[in-house]
Structure 1
Amino acid sequence: MSKSNTILYLDGVSVSFDGFRAINNLSLVLDKGEMRAIIGPNGAGKTTMMDIVTGKTRPDQGEVFFDGQVDLTKHDEAEIAMMGVGRKFQKPTVFESHTIEENLMLALKGPRSIFPALFHRRSVAEARQIDDILGIIRLGDKRDELAANLSHGQKQWLEIGMLLAQDPKLLLVDEPVAGMTDAETEETARLLRDIARDHSVIVVEHDMHFVRELGVKVTCLHEGSVLSEGSLDFVSADERVVEVYLGR
Structure 2
Amino acid sequence: MSALLEVAGVSVAFDGFKAINNLSFEIEEAELRAIIGPNGAGKTTFMDIVTGKTRPDKGRVTWGPSNISLLRKSEAQIARLGIGRKFQRPTVFEDQSVFDNLVMALKKPRGPMSAILYRRDEADTDRIHALAEEIGLTKELARRSGELSHGQKQWLEIGMLLAQDPQLLLVDEPAAGMTVGERQHTTRLLRDVAKTRAVIVVEHDMEFVRALDCRVTVLHEGSVLAEGTLDHVTQDQRVIDVYLGRSGER
Pairwise same-fold verdict (TM > 0.5): yes
Q: How far apart in 2 are the matches of 1:113 and 1:82? A: 14
Q: Check whether the contact 1:105–1:117 (CA below 8 A) recurs between aligned residues.
A: no
**Amino acid of the residue matched to residue 219 of structure 1?**
T
**How far does the alpha carbon of each residue in 1:166-206 deviate from its partner, in whole angstroms, 9 at most, with x for none?**
11111000001111111111110001011111111100000
Q: How far apart in 1 are the matches of 2:206 and 2:107? A: 33
Residue 151 (structure 2) pairs with residue 173 (structure 1): no
Q: How far apart in 1 are the matches of 2:225 and 2:123? A: 45
Secondary structure of 2:4 counterpart: strand
**Amino acid of the residue matched to residue 45 of structure 1?**
G
Residue 44 (structure 2) pairs with residue 47 (structure 1): yes
Q: How far apart in 2 are the matches of 1:73 and 1:180? A: 35
Q: How far apart in 1 are the matches of 2:182 and 2:128? A: 22
**Amino acid of the residue matched to residue 42 of structure 1?**
N
Offset of residue 128 of structure 1: 2.0
Gap regions ≥5 residues in structure 1: none
**Amino acid of the residue matched to residue 62 of structure 2?**
F
Query: Pairwise mapping of residues 37-116 of structure 1 onto structure 2 (< 5 A)?
Result: 37-68=34-65, 69-112=67-110
Query: Pairwise mapping of residues 213-232 of structure 1 onto structure 2 (< 5 A)?
Result: 213-232=211-230
**Amino acid of the residue matched to residue 13 of structure 2?**
S
**Amino acid of the residue matched to residue 193 of structure 1?**
R
Q: Which deviates more from structure 2 when the two are superposed, residues 140-149 or residues 109-118?
A: 109-118
Judged with a 3 Å threshold, the aligned counterparts in structure 2 of structure 1 residues 165 and 136 are, in CA distance, closer, same or farther, namely: same
**Residue 23 of structure 2: aligned partner:** 26
Secondary structure of 1:158 counterpart: helix
**Residue 241 of structure 1: aligned partner:** 239
Offset of residue 123 of structure 1: 2.4
Secondary structure of 1:94 counterpart: coil
Gap regions ≥5 residues in structure 2: none
**Residue 156 of structure 1: aligned partner:** 154
**Amino acid of the residue matched to residue 32 of structure 2?**
M
How many residue pairs are counted as aligned between the two chains? 245
Offset of residue 121 of structure 1: 2.9
Offset of residue 51 of structure 1: 0.2
Of the candidates 116, 120, 123, which is equivalent to residue 122 of structure 1? 120
User: What CA RMSD, in Å, does the superposition of the two structures yield over aligned residues?
Assistant: 1.8
Secondary structure of 1:197 counterpart: coil
Equivalent pairs: percent with the same residue?
58
Offset of residue 124 of structure 1: 2.7
Residue 196 (structure 2) pairs with residue 198 (structure 1): yes
Q: Which deviates more from structure 2 when the two are superposed, residues 123-132 or residues 200-209?
A: 123-132
Q: Check whether the contact 1:100–1:142 (CA below 8 A) recurs between aligned residues.
A: yes
TM-score using structure 1 length: 0.94
**Residue 144 of structure 1: aligned partner:** 142
Q: Check whether the contact 1:44–1:224 (CA below 8 A) recurs between aligned residues.
A: yes
Q: Check whether the contact 1:220–1:227 (CA below 8 A) recurs between aligned residues.
A: yes
Offset of residue 116 of structure 1: 7.5
Instruction: After the TM superposition, list the runs of 4 or more consecutive aligned residues in structure 1 that deviate by more than 6 angstroms.
Output: 113-116
Q: Which deviates more from structure 2 when the two are superposed, residues 128-137 or residues 200-209?
A: 128-137
Judged with a 3 Å threshold, the aligned counterparts in structure 2 of structure 1 residues 229 and 148 are, in CA distance, closer, same or farther, namely: same
**How far does the alpha carbon of each residue in 1:145-176 deviate from its partner, in whole angstroms, 9 at most, with x for none?**
00011000000000000010111111000001
**How far does the alpha carbon of each residue in 1:214-241 deviate from its partner, in whole angstroms, 9 at most, with x for none?**
0000000000000000000001100000
